[in-house]
Structure 1
Amino acid sequence: MIRFTLVCDSGHSFESWFPSGSAYDEQAARGFVTCPICESGRVTKAPMAPAVARTDRDRRPAAEPASLPAPPSPPPTAPMPMPMLAEPERRLRALFKAVREHVVSTSEHVGDRFAEEARAIHYGDAEGRPIYGEATPHEARELAEEGIEVMPLPLSPDDRN
């Protein structure tokens, strides 16, 4: 492989690799070599100094140089903000939050008495009203078996943090 520095007729300089010098000539003649900046097909090789290996040096490995100071590290860059959630998930979470806020603002919180209050309302032993609270999975299953319609209130992601 050989690397050529090329220049287009607009003066843009760029490098390209070719299997051989004749491969460059053939591709250039067929119009396959173009400037990546302006897409001009008028490209020529720029003058280059060839990289030639020296043969007049001793072939023994050089002694390890004395420890050199470490190069200065680049200044830290501020991390780019990345969206943690995709747009559909953000919309879904916003919907869950809106549902939760609506239920909380328009219903009575009955705490861990939810199952007994739901039964009392269902059987007419208490005034009908919207309620919310906590129930164990066993209590929720019993309510469903009795035909009492209940549903879990979606938790806000902030409730867990």
Structure 2
Amino acid sequence: MAAVASRADRESFLRIYDYFMPRLCLYLRGMGTPESMAEELSQEAMLRLWQNAAGYSPGRSALSTWLFRIARNLHIDRLRRESGWSSAPVDEIDAEPDRAACTAEEFADHVELQRRIDSLSSVQARLIRMSYFEAKSHQEIAGELGMPLGTVKSHLRRAFLRLQEELGATP
């Protein structure tokens, strides 16, 4: 990153791009962004990295934290433009960056989990995503999908057991 900031080193930038671009796309898709929009927002985040490389301070955060925060902010800006959100009062805004943002190991675990979820049946994968990533209750899922509550619970239980088995955890 120092080479990008000081010399506008394209080779260094391309290494950063090759590493982070797919991860940014995955991160944004995980937040519910359609694939084409996730790619566009990721491109914009990488452009901002290039343009503002001198503004990055390794003492304040990891490069991944800085870059994922840019992508997150771009995502929020897009949502606000599309849905006409009202702005939050200034005292509710968290001025301190999220230090708990994704480390490389956490991101790798997340990618592996996403891959495992994708290997489930489409119904089970959808239910897992709605329950764990969208934080919906079983009752909300049943209502939204028009499924009996017991069916939702049994599908989730089987999916969870399969994920535990595949990840080598004991149920």
TM over 0.5: no
TM-score for the superposition, normalised by structure 2: 0.22
TM-score for the superposition, normalised by structure 1: 0.23
User: More helix per residue: 1 or 2?
Assistant: 2
User: More strand per residue: 1 or 2?
Assistant: 1
